[in-house]
Amino acid sequence: MTTELDLSEYLLTRFDEAEAAARRAPDDDDEPWTLDPRYDPYDERWVLRASATYVLADIAAKRRVVTHAAEASVDRELTIDDRSVTRDEVEQRRATDPGQLILVALVQPYSARPDFNPSWVS
């Protein structure tokens, strides 16, 4: 299911980018979420803005999830070089592997990025 760039490496790189942006942002909010004042809350275009503190805590939690999911993943233990399994068996195990499924769920918000690999979620 993973290809050139390992799925967990891809996620950690995206988290690095978000963390860098959060560290550059001023964190004047006492509340973790505030309405962006540019929009009327009754307008469907309103957006929520997260405080830098919230974003950093969220990223730290996601990093731990990626680490645990990657460690639990069949990818770490099962390769096609293992002569006791076929390529189809490897792919079938990966498709139902809980660690891999968690990584796939975490990567989906990045699907619009040009460096996103659609095979990660297929």
> Per-residue pLDDT tens for 76-110?
555 555 566 676 776 777 677 888 889 999 999 99
d(CA 62, CA 56) in angstroms, rounded, equals 10
User: Which tops the pLDDT comparison, 23 or 25?
Assistant: 23
- Dihedral angle over CA of 106, 33, 51, 121, nearest 10: 10
Domain map (residue ranges) of the chain: 7-110
pTM above 0.75, yes or no: no
Mean pLDDT of 27-42: 57
Residue 65 is predicted with a pLDDT of 96
Residue 106 is predicted with a pLDDT of 94
